[in-house]
Amino acid sequence: MKNINRYTLNDLCQLVELTPRTVRFYIQKSLLQAPEGSGRGAHYTQAHIERLLEIKKWQHAGLSLERISELLFDESNDKPLPPLKRAKPGDIEVCSHIHIDEGISLTLNPSKAGLTPEQAKQLTLELISLYQRITSSEKEEK
């Protein structure tokens, strides 16, 4: 009976949909630990699968391998959240369109911008205030 916690390189690649060359490259770049054992007895574990899936997720979000490496080896307790997936043509996303004045609106996706509802409101109020100051100073100059 095959141990389900051990994977050959081919099994691993099929599970995470990567090529053996890519897996070896990640090992070479220290993004992924080398397999346990050596030679024909070398095997990969669930930890390898999880790491590869994490790398893939961050790559699909547009991060470089250098940045992914920084995130993977960040020892601080406040690890950053994985980035949001980049929008593709046809994806639907909810945004707020805030009317500033005739011909001027702000499109805002607070969650993608990392803003709380209070911060989004403050940003909106500040932009309206700035716009009003700019337009009133132009009227005074005329």
**The pLDDT of residue 142:** 62
Report how far residue 36's alpha carbon sits from residue 34's, in angstroms, rounded to the nearest whole number: 7
Look at 6-15, 19-28, 71-80, 96-105 and tell me which has the smallest mean pLDDT. Answer: 71-80
Could you report the per-residue pLDDT of 52-75, keeping only the tens digit for each? Answer: 998 998 888 778 888 888 888 876
Task: Compute CA distances 79 → 70, 72, 73, 86, 114, whole Å.
Answer: 11, 9, 10, 20, 15
- Our measurement of the distance from residue 55's CA atom to the centroid of its chain's CA atoms, rounded to an integer in Å, reads 10
The residue behind tokens 């070398």 is 42
**List of long-range contacts for 131-136, beta carbons under 8 Å, 24+ apart:** 131/100, 131/101, 131/104, 135/101
pLDDT at 3 over 60: no
Confidence of residue 84 (pLDDT cuts 50, 70, 90): low
pLDDT at 133: 92
Contacts of 123 (CB under 8 A, 6+ apart): 108, 115
pTM score, two decimals? 0.53
pLDDT band at 91 (very low <50, low <70, confident <90, very high): confident
